[in-house]
Chain A
């Protein structure tokens, strides 16, 4: 399928699906669904939750932090204890403490940075009970924060924002669970596996041969007279195929923009993403809720065009990014073409840069997937981003560095975009001579403080983390490539962690305790360092009067505002990273040309 056609079909289907989902979500969040409320009531009574009691922003924040702190402990504990727990047919050992900590933080913060290989370290129970459950809860946390921020605009002179327990329950039970169920069935019908079987040993079509160094008693390679290591021939005609309940985890991994793969190869693994068609459906699943949430905003504030404006801004940046990345990848690798390699697409070959890409997806679907997964803070991958061309790989990195607001993580994308919108409104509002207001709420000193905090924290984490990594011995040890490309690997890792994306550039050996701890800190602060100011913002907005728009109000739904918002996202989001990008991908790219 041509790249353009693929993108058009993708966007049309996305918007068609987002519309009913948005309708359903707003009904659920407002409690406008009779039968569900009745079922809930029983659950709340059993849990001792007073559903009619509303929380202030502080109590709400406390509740969310509590849910996530408990999640953190639970995920850590299950990983450490999995050897004693059931559903462990491969007898996986306890995960090491630093790795378990990193993974726990990663899944709680919706980052799903994976310092482990799923099929080689996690039991089925850990995958299901720890990781998949957290996939639901972290997604619910993000959506709840976005809903609360919307309520901040909708409510007037109110000190409360809703009930945190009710919100999280409703999001999980009535939004994430049904969607995941449908998607999991759809996926397993097309070949994604779902079982509890032990790993299967199968005979390979041809025997596989390879060599290993012969080790002496002390573990060092034995050397011959010339000093070359002595190698032993190895041969195998069987292969181990990892099994497991993949479809059920895959569904929420995509729908909740979590991105943590069941297998190490993530969505490039044939059991996790068997065909080009499942690939396309998975891409739709990633953007479904982020797109729908924009429309939910429009519905809840009573002006649908407001939501469409946000969606339009996101879509515009997205289209440009896809076009750029696809183009860069199709041009192929400058280093190879200079050696006379034919990289022109033809009947016999896809052309372009196929390194690190699955042949069943090809360049277009891989580039599109890369942009979607980085734009949406998902982090699932169907190709190796490290193997992209310098600029082709820079586009996904830029998507992450923009602050995960181009669709973004579920909830996180919307509240991040609203923070940018407030910034745009602030500057633009001043420019037309009025105290800035957005959706009827005045943006004053306290709001600006919170906006500033939310915008400050992530670049500090990303740049600060990268700086620590490149000055310390432990940090430098993990870098695979020399020069600019090596720098890109570190920058990408911290961009991914700080922005809660979770995708990896690869190339960087992040499996050391140094990276595990530092990245975990970046993930945690990058998540809650933004959520708390956003909740405070919601609280302050809810307490304000709601102004009716007049002729003099800055219109926040036309093309002009969409353009303005894109400009602010670009300027504020990207300017911070320009020097770093110059030392990474840009130097890398121009070096390619110089060669």
Chain B
């Protein structure tokens, strides 16, 4: 997706330049009321300049047209970028053929004994059942109803490691455009043509410029209101000036070209010219983070989130528990326990087993021997025995039966051998539970050696992310099926603000409603079908792409990387979009002060020579003063295109300091910048001897 970025970029600027002219179509201009005023002003000044040509009138006319073009260019650059994204997505929609089953296919059916006929992927409809074998491209989004396969989803997620997709459970969804690498799956298609993920991504990118978000509309209203006020201000200046000239008996009535120049300088062209670029850039930033939003509204809402619900497993903790300590029974040397635990786990390939091996090796410097070296025979974990272990039989050594398992399972095991679990080990087991960890007990035959503590491992860096969220003003709540004790311990370690233990889907739903009733906006991530009701209730719901179809339909965003902490990035993107708009609006309005100081004295100095006292910038002549303001007004749009595309940087430092910072940069900066800019342009103009 990002391979040929460099060549694409230069091509996109060329395209944008061309589009800037294409967008001069009045129908396109009409969509942006503020820039439409500039557009009409450009036409009027052109006519006026043609009627009575003067260097000044022609220069103003040219620069007004340039203002319009610059605004068009800003929009075209942003669109060009997202178009590039869309077209690379469209590449995924190659013409593919699907093998469609004839008749009804049961859940878990085998591929043999069914008849398949080929059908073009584009004509697949919801409910069709298709067979996808190794090497095939998944024709459309769907749910696996039978089989298991490894799927390469790199085209969508950019993640090269293949993922497993199988029927049932939370990993049953497949996305159109991905490729099955091995084995086969039977998939029930869940979308109609034009509704697939890729389609939705493309349409989102393309819609970003057409459909305005609520906040954008509200801002546009403000901008239009300001434009109307300034239309009145400038419109009434003509009679005011005529009256002043007649009454003071000196000077000339203000020139129409000057009035139009003043109007264009006063109306918020900077923000209006960049507004749609900001929106498009925001959406494409989100897409770059591999998140699909159903609407721009959802992205904006993400910026307002107050409470974030996160699943414990996989989000806050690593999916697996890890051994963290050996607690030996009395009269048992710690080293013996460790060695027994090590031997019992040699054959255990689960992450927990491997973590026990690793801990034993590192704590007691034991040597790792293979099963054959110790001449052992593995006893695997079963749901009935709930323990695993190794039987070692060697020459001259009595046979050892090493077992590890849940405390009650080992207790039953040793009891069956006529022994009893020592009380101290029982206490140790209880204590481990209380800490929020999982205890395992190790036995050598009938002799209980001690306990192993398996701990939930909180992801590294997650604490800092939660701290960042807290600074943003977002409260984090951990949701887990664990009991309260375990949950509380992990919550404290991870640094979340609150937790919901023993969570059921109903409890989750209730929690969300409680927060909402308090007037909070709730965001959550989820992947399972049982998350669907809560996802539907949450204000911002991010479904994992690996999750079930039900979850994806309930959410208003889908994270293609299936990374639950992605919400933080989504929130930041939403905030960035609003911040960029707000900051540039402030900048635009603050600019007006300097423009007044440039234009007002220039416009009326012939009537009231004393008004030259207001020419604080000491601009060389009235004509050059007005022209400088117009040029500054146009050029500033181009200067701010990078800000619009990149967005104003968000920092999680709390509302007040964020506001102080942005007010300083864009408010005070917006007050000062034009004084400097207009003066410099004026120096340039007079140096070039234009006036």
**Which A residues form the contact surface with B (CB < 8 A)?**
156, 423, 426-435, 440, 443-445, 447-449, 451-453, 455-456, 459-460, 463-464, 466-467, 470-471, 476, 479, 482-484, 486-487, 545-548, 550-555, 558, 560, 564, 567, 571-572, 575-580, 582-583, 586-587, 590-591, 593-594
CB of B473 within 8 A of CB of A483, answer: no
Contact B473 A553 (CB under 8 A): yes
Q: Does B568 contact A (CB under 8 A)?
A: no
Asked whether B658 is an interface residue with its Cβ less than 8 Å from the other chain, the reply is yes
B671 CB to nearest A CB, Å: 10
Given contacts A547-B306, A560-B663, 19 further A-B contacts (CB under 8 A): A427-B586, A431-B662, A432-B582, A433-B577, A444-B214, A445-B218, A476-B243, A484-B244, A550-B520, A553-B473, A564-B659, A575-B593, A576-B229, A580-B236, A580-B237, A583-B240, A587-B610, A590-B611, A591-B610
B36 at the interface (CB under 8 A from A): no
B583 at the binding interface (Cβ < 8 Å): yes
Bound Cα distance A433, B589 (Å): 19
Q: Taking the complex as formed, is B114 at the interface, i.e. its CB lies under 8 A from any CB of chain A? A: no
Shortest distance from the beta carbon of B490 to any chain A beta carbon, whole Å: 24
Chain B 523-558 against A: per-residue CB contact (8 Å), 1 yes, 0 no? 000000000000000000000000000000000000
Tell me the minimal C-beta distance from A569 to chain B in angstroms. 13
Q: Is B242 an interface residue (CB 8 A)?
A: yes
Inter-chain CA distance A444–B519, complex, in Å, is 16
Contact of B232 with A433 in the complex, beta carbons under 8 Å: no
Query: CA A452 – CA B244 in complex, angstroms?
Result: 31
Quick check: which of B91-99, B219-227, B311-319 contacts chain A, the rest being far away?
B219-227
Q: Is the CB of A463 within 8 A of B236?
A: yes
Interface residues of chain B: helix, strand, loop or mixed (majority): helix
**A426 CA to B654 CA, complexed, in Å:** 17
Q: Mark B575-587, 1 if CB is under 8 A from A, else 0.
A: 1111101110110
Residue of B nearest to A437 (CB): B304
B248 within 8 A of A: yes
Give me 10 A-to-B residue pairs in the complex whose CB atoms sit less than 8 angstroms apart, sorted by A's number: A433-B574, A433-B576, A434-B655, A440-B519, A452-B222, A452-B225, A547-B521, A548-B519, A564-B663, A591-B608
- Enumerate chain B residues within 8 angstroms of A447, measured Cβ to Cβ: 218
- Residues of A close to B574: CB separation below 8 A: 433
Contact between chains at A578 and B596 (CB < 8 Å): yes
CA distance A395 to B608 in the complex (A): 21
In chain B, positions 292-340 with a C-beta closer than 8 Å to chain A are 300-301, 303-304, 306
Given A456-B228, A547-B520, A550-B306, A470 and B218 contact (CB-CB distance below 8 Å): no
Closest Cβ of chain B to A91, distance in Å, is 42
State A283–B233 Cα separation when bound (angstroms). 34
- Beyond A431-B582, A487-B240, is A448–B222 a contact (Cβ under 8 Å)? yes
Distance in angstroms between the alpha carbons of A482 and B607 in the assembled complex: 13
The interface residues of chain A lying within 8 Å CB-to-CB of B237 are 579-580
CB within 8 Å of A: which B201-243 residues? 214-215, 217-219, 221-222, 224-226, 228-230, 232-237, 239-243
Q: Which residues from A are CB-within-8-Å of B656? A: 554-555, 558, 560
With a cutoff of 8 Å between Cβ atoms, the chain A residues found around residue B583 in the complex are 430-431
Task: Given A431-B659, A470-B243, decide whether A571 and B236 contact each other with a Cβ distance below 8 A.
Answer: no
- Interface size bracket, B side: 35 or more
Partner of A590, one of B236, B603, B608: B608
B219 lies within 8 A of A430 (CB): yes
Residues in B with CB closer than 8 Å to A583 are: 240-241, 244, 604, 607-608
Q: CB-CB < 8 A to A577: which residues of B?
A: 233
Identify which of A430, A453, A463 contacts B585 (C-beta below 8 A).
A430
- A575 and B225 CA atoms in complex are apart in Å by 14
Residue of B nearest to A568 (CB): B589
A322 to B581, CA, bound (A): 36
Q: Across the interface, which residues of A come within 8 angstroms of B243, CB to CB?
A: 470-471, 476, 487
> Which residue of A430, A456, A567 contacts B579 across the interface (Cβ within 8 Å)?
A430
Do the beta carbons of B240 and A466 come within 8 Å of each other? Answer: yes
Q: How distant is B557 from chain A, measured CB to nearest CB, in Å?
A: 17
Find the residue from B519, B613, B666 having the highest chain A CB count within 10 A. B519
**Interface: B472 (CB within 8 A):** yes
Which residues of chain B have C-beta atoms less than 8 A from A546's C-beta?
519
- Once bound together, how far apart are the Cα atoms of A318 and B608, in whole Å? 31
Bound-state CA distance A572–B585 (Å) is 13
The residue on A at minimum CB distance from B652 is A552
* B473→A552 contact, CB < 8 A: yes
Among A451, A456, A483, point to the contact of B247 (Cβ < 8 A).
A483
Task: From A453, A575, A594, give the contact of B610 (CB < 8 A).
Answer: A594
Could you list which residues of chain B lie within 8 angstroms of chain A, going by C-beta atoms?
214-215, 217-219, 221-222, 224-226, 228-230, 232-237, 239-244, 247-248, 262, 266, 300-301, 303-304, 306, 470-475, 518-521, 574-579, 581-583, 585-586, 589-590, 592-593, 596, 600-601, 603-604, 607-611, 613-614, 650, 654-656, 658-660, 662-663, 666-667
Whether B611 and A587, one on each chain, are in contact in the complex, defined by CB atoms closer than 8 angstroms, is: yes
Contacting residues, chain A, for B303 (C-beta < 8 A)? 433-435
On whether the beta carbons of A428 and B582 are closer than 8 Å, the reply is yes
CB <8 Å contact, A433 and B579: yes
Q: Of all chain A residues, which has the CB nearest B574?
A: A433
**Bound form: Cα–Cα A65–B610 in Å:** 47
Question: Across the interface, do B215 and A430 meet the contact criterion of CB distance under 8 Å?
Answer: yes
Residues of chain A within 8 A of B304, CB atoms compared: 434-435, 552
Contact A463 B225 (CB under 8 A): no
Answer whether A579 and B600 are a contact pair too, CB < 8 Å, given A427-B582, A467-B236: yes
Q: Are A435 and B614 within 8 A (Cβ)?
A: no
Contact B582 A548 (CB under 8 A): no
**Contact A445 to B585, CB < 8 A, known contacts A433-B303, A435-B578:** no
For B609, list chain A residues within 8 Å (CB): 594
Q: Which residue of B lies closest to A567 (CB)?
A: B667
- B613 with A590: CB separation less than 8 A: yes
Which of A428, A435, A455 meets B300, CB within 8 Å?
A435
A305 CB to nearest B CB, Å: 14
Q: In the bound complex, how far is the Cα of B247 from the Cα of A476, in angstroms? A: 10
Contact yes or no, A576 B611, CB < 8 A: no
Chain A's closest residue to B233 (CB) is A576
B234, B655, B666 interface centre (most CB from chain A within 10 Å):
B655
Q: Are A593 and B236 in contact (CB under 8 A)?
A: no
- CB of B620, distance to nearest CB on chain A (Å): 20
Whether the Cβ atoms of A432 and B659 lie closer than 8 Å is yes
| Closest A residue, CB atoms, query B225 | A452
Q: Which residues of B contact A423 (CB under 8 A)?
A: 222
Whole-angstrom distance between the Cβ of B449 and the nearest chain A Cβ: 50
**Docked CA distance A444–B222 (Å):** 11
Asked whether A433 lies within 8 Å of B218 as measured between CB atoms, the reply is no
Q: Is the CB of A459 within 8 A of B229?
A: yes
Q: Please name all residues of chain A whose beta carbon is closer than 8 Å to the beta carbon of B659 when the two chains form the complex.
A: 428, 431-432, 554, 560, 564
Evaluate contact between A582 and B604: CB separation under 8 angstroms. Answer: yes
Q: Is the CB of B518 within 8 A of A548?
A: yes
Asked if residues B474 and A470 are in contact (CB atoms below 8 Å), the reply is no
- CB-CB under 8 A from A431, the residues of chain B are 579, 582-583, 586, 658-659, 662-663, 666
Q: A426 touching B663 by the CB < 8 A rule?
A: no
Residues of B within 8 A of A440 (CB): 519
Query: Judging by beta carbons under 8 Å apart, are B247 and A435 in contact?
Result: no
A578 touches B225 (CB 8 A): no
CB-nearest residue of chain A to B471 = A551
Contact A433 B233 (CB under 8 A): no
B226 smallest CB distance to A (angstroms):
8
- Complex CA–CA separation, A7 to B593 (angstroms): 30
B212 to A: closest C-beta gap in Å: 10
Give the nearest-CB partner of B647 in chain A.
A433
Residue of A nearest to B608 (CB): A587
Cα of A419 to Cα of B656 in the assembled complex, Å: 21
Docked Cα-Cα span, A567 to B666, in Å, equals: 13
Which B residues are CB-close (under 8 A) to A470? 239-240, 242-243
Q: Is the CB of A586 within 8 A of B239?
A: no
In angstroms, Cα B596 to Cα A577, docked, is 11
B233 touches A571 (CB 8 A): no
Report the Cα distance A490→B603, complex, angstroms: 21
Contact call A575/B611, Cβ cutoff below 8 A: no
